[in-house]
Structure 1
């Protein structure tokens, strides 16, 4: 490649990198104003495709604490917050194929093997939180540090509660009902109303070894199930 062309390519790459870096800087650090007023606006927005079924929500109130020591131990302060939280549970239906379905013609039972329930990131509503702070003198740095720590701790506590076995079990139970209802609708529309639907999670173990005959279409199997 001729040297001038190499130089042009390098400049183009650097220009692109600079543009991307500038966009990131504007997104994270630049504050836009209208005259002297700071604007409230959406900085960025990204839409992502999804095919997960929401199967439950855990909600309640979370408490978190933080302490701060400054001034060679002379400035001690602490903070406790209480805020409402919610955590959603999902099942990713995009991972299902015909291999996930099992048909037992004798018992007329349709089983579906689904992925494990996933726990979404916890949402702590800090706009409705109650705060108690104590300290002889709380600096702005101490205020920021305690707010950051207590906020992080609140999310961790809520996430841990949502991930405990009892709540995961409740999410699975609700998922069985929701998925069975989702499957029953097309079966009823096809005139197959007397089918028992069973939902299996990986934690249930392998309860059946009878799979779909993949040499036939799904429509043909459902026709034979009548």
Structure 2
């Protein structure tokens, strides 16, 4: 967080006579010249509005087709990301157990949660024309493969003598364990709820804007996942 001796100088000045006021005739002339242009612009805007009212189609099209277009723009949508720090440990034994070593590792991991937008077809959409409501049923959120940041990993090794082969094996084992642990942590119900909430918000934005552009206005969008009860 970012955490002034003020001096004043007294100066004398001589008042000069102010300039005479600018003639108002030029301002009045400018206003008179601008009136025809303002009237012309106003008439053009009115004509455009009346033309749109006269020739705009009463049927805006199929809202389901408009919504499906929003889904078809991308097959996979990353809706959430979690930073995890799995703590794992592995052991190594050599020379019939005479030389033992152990390694504890903390390996930061990044896990993305994605939504398969390509799986959303017309069967997952329903339009209620009576109350302008679009109902959407989404497939489950998928947990991606953890991206381990080995450059920021921290290791604690124990053993009287740790050979290079033993150290490499301990690191490989801990990397595998860290990936498994990250997948388990990412499936935590709290993180999954956050991912589903983020997915609903992302899908809402992907649907609301195209529907507004198509002329449907502020429609109501109800989004749920497979297995969730539909809100009334």
What corresponds to 1:201 in structure 2? 225
Residue number in structure 1 paired with 2:47: none
Tell me the residue number matched to 1:149.
Answer: 173
1:29-49 deviation digits (Å, cap 9, x = unpaired): xxxxxxxxxxxxxxxxxxxxx
Contact residue 176 and residue 198 of structure 1 kept, 8 A: no
Cα RMSD between the aligned structures?
A: 1.6
Can you list the C-alpha shifts for 1:62-91, whole angstroms capped at 9, x where unaligned?
Answer: 211111121222211110111211100111
CA distance in 2 between partners of 1:124 and 1:162 (Å):
13
Please tell me whether residue 166 in structure 1 is matched to residue 190 in structure 2: yes
Do the aligned partners of 1:68 and 1:77 also contact (CA within 8 Å) in 2? yes
Task: Verify the 8 A CA contact 1:61 1:83 in the aligned structure 2.
Answer: yes
SS at structure 2 position matched to 1:68: strand
Matches of 2:146 and 2:218 in 1, distance apart? 40
Partner of 2:149: 125
Aligned length: 159
TM-score (normalizing by structure 2) = 0.65
State how far apart, in whole Å, the 1-side matches of 2:220 and 2:230 are: 18
1:207, CA displacement in angstroms?
6.0
Give the whole-Å Cα distance in 2 for the aligned partners of 1:203 and 1:152: 33
Aligned pairs for 1:44-55 (under 5 A) are: 51-55=75-79
Whether the 8 Å contact between 1:53 and 1:93 is mirrored in structure 2 is yes
Secondary structure in 2 aligned to 1:203?
Answer: coil
Q: Secondary structure at the match of 1:157?
A: helix
Which residue matches 2:53?
A: none
Match of 1:74 among 74, 88, 98: 98
Partner residue in 1 for 2:205: 181
5 Å matches for 1:1-226? 51-205=75-229
Unaligned runs of 5+ in 2: 1-73
What secondary structure sits across from 2:107 in the alignment?
strand
**CA deviation after TM superposition for structure 1 residue 206, in Å:** 5.6
* Cα distance, 1:167 vs structure 2: 1.4
Contact 1:54 1:88 in 2 (8 A): yes
Secondary structure of 1:64's counterpart equals: strand
- Kept in 2, the 8 Å contact 1:77–1:136? The answer is yes
